């Protein structure tokens, strides 16, 4: 089956250098949590994040929530015909199990992912739903062993969702950026053997995921 990877995703707990910032301390007191146990979120920690490395690509866990909801509610995923991974900006990889139903509420999703960062695994009914491991993007590809790696980026070769979907095979990997702005780092770009731009505008990750999955579904279900 094809694999979809959200790469360099904007998903991390608050880094040590920001944990003593006033906005972080205030947020933690209100929510009765430790700084090391909460997700970095620019909705709450904007002041603390000013000037940090890769600022424009960090602090947006809502992007991952929306995109995973879009992916995991498609017929392709529900029929167990798509494998999904989240690779984070700090080289952690989350494996999404088959048939998972993620919470639609962002606050519940936030709590789930904070628990995952702490325990590295989410289980229910003797089944692992989510698992997090320290793993680079390159190591993940070595595990998947794809026949082709299709990167989707505004700097890719001009194409369409429909034409790109026709190139996806059972052993392809499709890579979408899990961040708000900017581009993949050079080491991620270097892994692609096919880099495509699917629209004249920069589209949000959940829109790209939904549309490429829909076009691929048409090639196998119709």
pLDDT in tens, 131-158: 999 999 999 999 999 999 999 999 989 9
- Mean pLDDT, the chain, rounded, equals 93
d(CA 198, CA 111): 34
Summarised one tens digit per residue, pLDDT across range 93-141 is: 999 999 899 999 999 999 999 999 999 999 888 889 999 999 999 999 9
Give SS3 for 221. Answer: helix
Q: What is the pLDDT of residue 222?
A: 55
d(CA 176, CA 210): 11
Q: What is the pLDDT of residue 127?
A: 87
d(CA 194, CA 6): 16
Model confidence at 38, pLDDT cuts 50, 70, 90, reads: very high
- Beta-carbon neighbour count of residue 82 at 10 Å? 22
d(CA 98, CA 4): 13
Q: Please name the residue that has the structure tokens 């549309």.
A: 211
d(CA 6, CA 10): 10
d(CA 30, CA 115): 18
Pure H helices in the chain: 22-31, 42-49, 61-72, 75-78, 106-119, 137-144, 161-165, 186-189, 205-221
Residue 48 has pLDDT above 90, yes or no: no
pTM of the model: 0.94
Cα distance from N-terminal residue to C-terminal residue, the chain? 17
d(CA 7, CA 187): 11
């Amino acid at each position: 089956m094809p694999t979809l990877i959200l790469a360099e995703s904007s998903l991390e707990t608050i880094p040590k250098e920001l944990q003593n910032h006033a906005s972080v301390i205030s947020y933690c007191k209100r929510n009765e949590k430790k700084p090391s146990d909460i997700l970095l979120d620019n909705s709450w920690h904007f002041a603390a994040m000013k000037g940090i490395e890769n600022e424009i690509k960090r602090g947006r866990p809502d992007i991952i929530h929306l995109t995973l909801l879009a992916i995991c509610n498609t017929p392709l995923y529900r029929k167990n015909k798509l494998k999904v991974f989240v690779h984070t900006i700090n080289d952690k990889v989350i494996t999404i199990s088959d048939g998972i139903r993620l919470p639609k509420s962002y606050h519940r999703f936030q709590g789930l992912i904070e628990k995952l960062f702490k325990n590295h695994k989410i289980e229910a009914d003797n089944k692992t739903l989510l698992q997090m491991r320290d793993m680079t993007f390159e190591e993940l590809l070595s595990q998947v062993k794809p026949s082709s790696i299709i990167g989707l980026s505004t700097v890719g070769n001009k194409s369409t969702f429909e034409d790109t979907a026709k190139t996806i095979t059972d052993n392809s990997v499709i890579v979408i950026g899990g961040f708000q702005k900017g581009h993949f780092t050079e080491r991620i770009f270097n892994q692609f053997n096919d880099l495509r731009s699917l629209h004249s505008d920069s589209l949000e990750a959940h829109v790209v995921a939904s549309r490429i999955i829909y076009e691929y579904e048409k090639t196998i279900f119709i």
